[in-house]
Amino acid sequence: MAPSPEALSDWQQACEAALSRAPEGETLVSKSLIVHGPRAFVRASAPVRLVGAVLRAGSLGLLRWPRWRLVAGAVTGPVPLDLGQSWGGLLRIMPGTPAAKSMKRRSAGASGSSKPASQALRVDACAANPAGKGFARSWFLRAERLSRIAAPRLESPSHPVTAQALERVLSGNKGDGSAFVAGLGVRPKGHPDRARLAGTVDERFAASDEVLPQDFDFAVWNAAWPDQQAGHLAGDEHLELLNLCPADQPAAESSAQGTRLRLALPRHQVALTVRMASGEIFYHRASLDTLIVDTERQTVSLVWRAILAKDDEDPIRKVEARSYAAAQWQQLMRDTQAWRAWMDSAQAGEAAQEALHG
């Protein structure tokens, strides 16, 4: 008996509602960033700085008048979620520039410098993110005569960027503010925390026959930020992106919190069919270890990885990679187990026959 149009409509609406809700389960990664409009660090005027110096001297250093303030602007459009909008920066004074002349006037004996025109007189950078903005040193501000610095537009809720943070960095005695670097993409290889995983490369290692340093950590090849790392994925995970795509993005939903996009991985399994020189054939399951979402290109990239051991006595003759739907893979595994059980039974029967005839 066919269902009535009303019952069919109710069933379709129930299915759509069920599909729109992410299933309950373990949350593998949950991360958010704060996005700002154009903003800048602005230095206080000379009279204000003078008052601050008097207050600090009169209180024996107990009172500190802020010399910088953070002026924020409203978000007026999309903001690229790249490291160029996060904390960081590269400072460089090149010969022949007005800043170089200022440095020479301020530095005793610097007027006799004979550095080539292509070589910077002085360089400093935020090691975790030379491409960012906000990082500065007092010597650079004096040389460039700056009273305004572009401030980062991306920050982590747990490490908000403040004018006080800038003042701590300016002296050069309290680090470079690497803790304020925030992003959703790739953690650069030069990031101190990632570079440290490569191990100790010193004279002893250079003179040895070791392939890798003893303290080498293969986690150095993981380009994701630590709070975006998880174990191997199963391939059936659900993703929820909030304010990471335009409102007119296909399948996006509008809510009080902004634009929400829900995605579900396709439940595929990649496996290798391995053929050995001896004629043996077996399946080797690959592990899903990388997920890349590009909302601008509207693509989701999945990377499966597999390692096969080398066998000199029975070398690999051919390897084929194939993607299976979840149901196909499960059926293939059941068929493989049944075939192996039959082979084991057949071999056991042959061995028993040989024993009787022997």
Q: What is the pLDDT of residue 250?
A: 84
**Rounded CA separation 51/44 (Å):** 11
Spell out the per-residue pLDDT of the chain, length 358, in tens: 566 777 767 777 776 666 556 566 789 999 999 999 999 999 986 655 555 555 565 555 555 667 899 998 777 788 889 999 999 999 999 988 888 887 766 654 444 455 555 688 899 999 999 999 999 999 999 999 999 999 999 999 999 999 999 999 998 878 899 999 999 989 999 899 999 999 999 999 999 999 999 999 999 999 999 999 998 999 999 999 999 988 888 888 888 888 999 999 999 999 999 999 999 999 999 999 999 999 888 899 999 999 999 899 999 999 999 999 988 988 988 888 887 777 667 666 666 666 666 5
In eight-state DSSP terms, residue 289 is E
**Rounded CA separation 120/100 (Å):** 9
Q: What is the pLDDT of residue 22?
A: 57
Give the domain ranges of the chain: 34-185, 230-357
**Rounded CA separation 358/40 (Å):** 92
**Rounded CA separation 343/350 (Å):** 10
Q: Counting every residue, how long is the chain?
A: 358
**Rounded CA separation 159/180 (Å):** 6
Handedness of CA 48, 53, 59, 65 (dihedral sign): positive
**Rounded CA separation 70/149 (Å):** 9
* Nearest one of 224, 189, 194, 241 to 303, comparing CA atoms: 224
**Rounded CA separation 106/112 (Å):** 13
The dihedral over CA atoms of 262, 78, 190, 293, expressed in degrees to the nearest 10, equals 20
Q: What is the pLDDT of residue 350?
A: 65
